[in-house]
Chains A and B, each alone.
Chain A
Amino acid sequence: MNALIEQMVVNGILAGLVYVIMALGFTLVFGIMRVVNFAHGELYMVSGYVMLSLYGQHQMNYYLAVVCAVLFTAMLGAVLEKLLFQRFAGDELGGMIISLALAIILQAGALILFGPDEQSMPRPVSGVWHVHEAVLSLDRGFVAIWAVVALAAFWLFIKRTRLGLAMQAVAQDRVTAGLMGIQSKRVSLIAFSIGSALAALAGALMAPIYTVSPYMGELPLLKAFVVVILGGLGSIPGAMLGGLLIGMTESVFATLFDSTVALIASFVIVLVVIVVRPRGLLGKAVR
C-alpha cells in the first residue's frame, strides 16, 4: 500500500511539473493580454515537430535541438502577436476567437505538411531509477529537472528583472502601467513570445517521450486550461500550485480508476471552481 502511495506521489509530481510549464505560458498570456489562447497547444505541437526534424531526423545534439525548438516557437509567437493578437487588445472574446482560428490553421498546416501519422524519435536517456519503493523512469525524471530549472529561471525573471516587474505591472493595471512609462504593446509582444517559448519547452521535452502528431497539442492544452482555472486565470503562483494539484489528482484517479475518469474528475473541478470561485485558488478578484 505504501509503495502504491509513493508511486502515485512520484507520478503526480512528474506529470504536474510539465503541466506547470504548459500552464505558466497560458496564464502569462491571459494575465497580460487577456487572451484565452486556444492555440497554446498548437505551439507545443510546432515545437514537437521542430524536435522531430532536428533531433529525430537530422541527429542534432539533443540540448541544442531543444534550444532551437524553443527559440523558433518564441519567434513564431512574436510574429503571431504582432500580426493577429495586437489588433484584439482589450477584446477578450475577439482575442479568444482569433486564437481558435489560429489553432485550426496550425493544426491543418501540420496535417498537410507531415500527415496524420504519429511519429517517434529516440529518447535522450532511458532506464529506471528506484527511489525507496517507487519506480521513476529516467526520461521523465530528466524532464522534471528541466522543468524545475525553467521554473526557477522564470520566477527570477518575473521577480527580479525590470521587464518582469513591468509585466506584473501591466497584468495588474494596464492603464496605470502606461502612465508609469511602461510600453504595454512591447510588454504584450514579449509576454506572448515567452508564453510561446514555455509551450515550446514543454513540447520539446515531451516529444521524445510520447509521439509527435498534429493532434499532440490538444491534451496538454486541456490540462493547461484545468490547471489555470483551478489556480486562477492570470495568476503565476496559481499555475504552479494548480499544476501540482492537478498532477496529483490525476495520478490518484488514474491509478485507482482509469485516465478518462481522471480527466472527467479534473473537469468537474474546473466546473465547480468557475461557478463557486471564478478567480480560482490564488487569482485576483474578477473585474
Chain B
Amino acid sequence: MKKIIFAVVVLAVAGVPLAIGGKYALHVGSMIAITATLALSMNLMLRIGQVSMAQGAFMGMGAYSSALLTMKLDWSPMVAMLASAVVVGMLAVALGFVFLRIKGVFFVLLTYAFAQIVNLSIQEASTWTGGNNGLYGIPKLAILGFRMVEPSAFYLCALAVAVLAWAVVHSVFRSRIGAILDSIEQDEGLSRALGTNALRWRVAVFGLSAVLASLAGSLFAHHLNFLSPANFTFLQNVDLLIMNIVGGVSSPTGAVLGALILVPLPELLRDAKQYELLIYGGILLGSLLFLRDGLVGRLGRLSFARRAVQTMREAGHGAA
C-alpha cells in the first residue's frame, strides 16, 4: 500500500510541470530534476560522513567536457554525456585513493582547494572554454539522433536521470553495501577489524557521486546551452548541502525533497532576487539551530517536513 502511495505522490509531483505546460514551468521542472541529481550525489558523500566541496567541480567537468565534445568534435550529446561521466568517475576514483584518506574539516578544505583549482583552470583555459565570458551555442540534448527541442522531452530525460539516480542511491543503501558503508561511517576501526576495506568502499562512493554530478552537469549544459565558471563555484556545493540538511541526510528521498523545496524558491521570489541568498542562509541557520539531531552523522530534518519525509521514506523502503 505504501509503495503505491509513494509511486502516486512521485508521479503527481513529476506531472506538475507537464500539467502546467509551457516553456517556463518545464524549465523549472528540468532544473529541479538536474539539481535533485546533484543533491543525490552530495547525499552519497554525506552518508559516508564526508562533506565534499568537490561536487560542483565534478558537475563543471561533466558540463564542459560534454559541451566541448559536442561542439568541437561533433559527438552526439548522449555519447558525450556518458563518456564524460565515465571519465569524471574514473578521475574521482583515482583522486579518491588520495583524498579519502583525509577526514573531517581537512577533507572539506582539500575538496575545496580542488574545486578552486578546477574552477580557476576553466577560467584560465579561455581558448577552449571561453573563460569568464562563457561558452555559447552548446547543442540541445539528442538521443539516438532525436533532438530534444521540445522542453517537455528534455524534462522527461532530466526526470529519468534523477529517478535513476535516486533508485541507484536508494538501492545501494538498501543493500548489503549500504550496511557496510553505515558500519564504516559509525565505527571505522571496528568495521575494518571485521575485514572491510574502508578506503576502497569510500573511493567507490566518491566515484559514483562524481558520475551523478557529471551527468547532471552535462544535462545542465545541454539544457541552458550556455556555460560559465560562475555556475560551478563553491556556493553550488553549499546549496547542495543546504538541500540535504533541509530535506534530511539520512535518505536519498530527503535530498530530492530538498531540491524540490529550494530550487523553485528563487523563481517565486523573482522581484526580490537579492533576498534569495538571505533566505538560503536563514534556512540553513534555522535548520542547524533548531532542528539538528546530531550534526553530519544524521543531520536534522525540518520539522514541517519531518512527518512527510518519514512516511515517504518508509514508503520508499517498501518500494524497492
Contacts and interface: CB of A to CB of B under 8 A. Distances in A.
A260 B124 contact: yes
A235 B140 CA distance: 51
B199 interface: no
Interface size of B as a range:
35 or more
B96 to A, nearest CB: 12
Contact of B277 (A111, A226, A261): A111
A94 B108 CA distance: 12
B274 A108 contact: yes
B114 A271 contact: yes
Interface in B231-279: 238, 241, 245, 274-278
Contacts, number: 113
Interface in A111-144: 111-112
B108 A36 contact: yes
B291 to A, nearest CB: 13
Given A94-B288, A271-B114, A101 B120 contact: no
Nearest to A30: B105
Interface in B88-144: 98-99, 101-102, 104-106, 108-110, 112-114, 116-117, 120-121, 123-124
B105 A261 contact: no
**Contact residues of B: prevailing secondary structure:** helix
Nearest to A261: B124
Given A105-B277, A112-B278, A271-B113, 17 more contacts: A36-B108, A93-B104, A94-B295, A97-B245, A97-B296, A98-B288, A102-B281, A104-B284, A105-B278, A108-B277, A225-B112, A263-B116, A264-B117, A268-B117, A270-B113, A271-B117, A275-B101
18 contacts: A36-B105, A91-B295, A97-B51, A97-B284, A97-B296, A100-B241, A100-B284, A102-B281, A104-B278, A107-B277, A108-B281, A233-B105, A263-B116, A264-B124, A267-B113, A267-B117, A274-B102, A275-B99
Interface of B: 51, 98-99, 101-102, 104-106, 108-110, 112-114, 116-117, 120-121, 123-124, 238, 241, 245, 274-278, 280-282, 284-285, 288-289, 292, 295-296
